[in-house]
């Protein structure tokens, strides 16, 4: 018999945490016939493998060459048998009763392709936990741009160790492009939104934030550069995935466009890049903010702002843009803006002379 549910654990150099993660799965109280446990070790170089071996044969241990989170998910998904797959990062852990609550939610909501829930973010350094989650049960979808805006505000609740999915969702999203060394849960999360994701208000897992998290870049500029590259790559993966799932371009833009622009701006501002890319990014911002600009404002943006992006290195351009905003120099071309607003555009924060949305 196939197990009812699979716990899929991805891990890399989690010798300090993996035992707690696996114990939290075993303490859910399900028998081997009901619960399959698959652990993918993505080439750990510490004692992670030997700790996992203590749980064999109850835990199926898959060892592979280091390739990142997407490659670990791809290897692990191929080994799962459950109709429901519950994800867990090897440095996180589940609360008691998590799987029972998730299975009950799936049973009560057959239309949902995924179930997530509130969780605690545990800050290892400060020894404190902060609650993240909705105040009440919500069902996310991408049927309309408004629904996509609502899903965007709840995206953070689809954190890896809180997310469980039906097998049909995995079949829709696999394989995940392995360029996503981390953030590989994002294709799963947006597929969940597209197919219908239920989010429970009960906190049923713990996300551990520590110095070894791939996203914890601190003052390491090289790690920050790598993170910025993966962030941009993520959006390049997500747009075609949504279109393949039948999501409209309007809903896809409502969900992804702001994040994609911010990722591109951040990388250009911080690390530079081709001037052509600065031009493309800023024109993308313009057309996202102004749907019907006046001819005058259109010419201003392309000739003045666009010209500046092509003449200046990206970092110098964004320094100039920040100076321009700080001194509120937008008032000198107010009639261009008014023309744009009168024809249905809206005035974005950056054009009001306020700081950029990119931090």
Q: Which of 192, 201, 171 is nearest to 113 (CA)?
A: 192
- Give tens-digit pLDDT for 286-331: 888 877 877 877 887 888 888 989 999 999 988 988 887 787 755 5
Q: For 202, phi and psi rounded to 5 degrees?
A: -75, 130
Stretch(es) of the chain classified as CATH 3.90.550.10: 5-209
- Tell me the average pLDDT across 53-78: 95
CATH architecture of 5-209: Alpha-Beta Complex (3.90)
- Give tens-digit pLDDT for 153-166: 999 999 999 999 99
Q: Which of 99, 116, 117, 77 is nearest to 25 (CA)?
A: 99
54 has pLDDT over 70: yes
- Tell me the average pLDDT across 41-59: 96
């Amino acid at each position: 018999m196939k197990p009812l549910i699979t716990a899929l654990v991805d891990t890399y150099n989690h010798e300090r945490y993996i035992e707690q993660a696996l114990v939290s799965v075993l303490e859910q109280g399900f028998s081997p016939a009901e619960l399959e446990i698959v652990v993918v070790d993505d080439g750990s170089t510490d004692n992670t493998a030997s700790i996992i071996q203590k749980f064999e044969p109850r835990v199926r241990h898959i060892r592979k060459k280091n390739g990142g989170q997407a490659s670990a998910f791809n290897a692990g998904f191929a080994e799962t048998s459950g109709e429901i797959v519950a994800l867990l990062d090897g440095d996180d852990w589940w609360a008691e009763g998590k799987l029972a609550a998730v299975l009950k939610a799936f049973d009560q909501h057959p239309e949902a392709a995924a179930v997530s829930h509130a969780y605690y973010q545990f800050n290892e350094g400060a020894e404190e936990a902060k609650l993240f989650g909705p105040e009440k049960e919500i069902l996310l979808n991408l049927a309309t741009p408004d629904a996509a805006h609502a899903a965007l505000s709840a995206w953070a609740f689809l954190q890896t160790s809180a997310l469980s999915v039906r097998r049909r969702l995995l079949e829709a999203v696999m394989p995940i492009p392995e360029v996503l060394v981390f953030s590989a849960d994002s294709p799963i999360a947006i597929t969940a939104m597209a197919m219908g994701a239920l989010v429970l208000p009960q906190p049923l897992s713990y996300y551990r934030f520590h110095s070894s998290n791939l996203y914890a870049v601190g003052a390491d500029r090289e790690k920050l550069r790598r993170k910025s590259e993966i962030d941009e790559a993520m959006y390049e993966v997500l747009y075609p995935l949504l279109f393949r799932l039948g999501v409209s371009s309007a809903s896809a833009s409502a969900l992804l466009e702001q994040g994609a622009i911010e990722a591109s701006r951040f990388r250009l501002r911080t690390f530079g890049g081709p001037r052509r890319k600065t031009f493309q990014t800023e024109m993308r911002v313009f057309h996202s903010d102004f749907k019907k600009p006046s001819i005058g404002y259109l010419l201003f943006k392309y000739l003045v702002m666009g010209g500046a992006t092509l003449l200046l290195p990206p970092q110098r351009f964004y320094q100039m843009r920040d100076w321009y905003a700080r001194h509120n120099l937008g008032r000198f071309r107010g009639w261009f803006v008014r023309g744009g607003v009168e024809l249905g555009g809206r005035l974005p924060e950056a054009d009001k002379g306020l700081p950029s949305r990119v931090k």
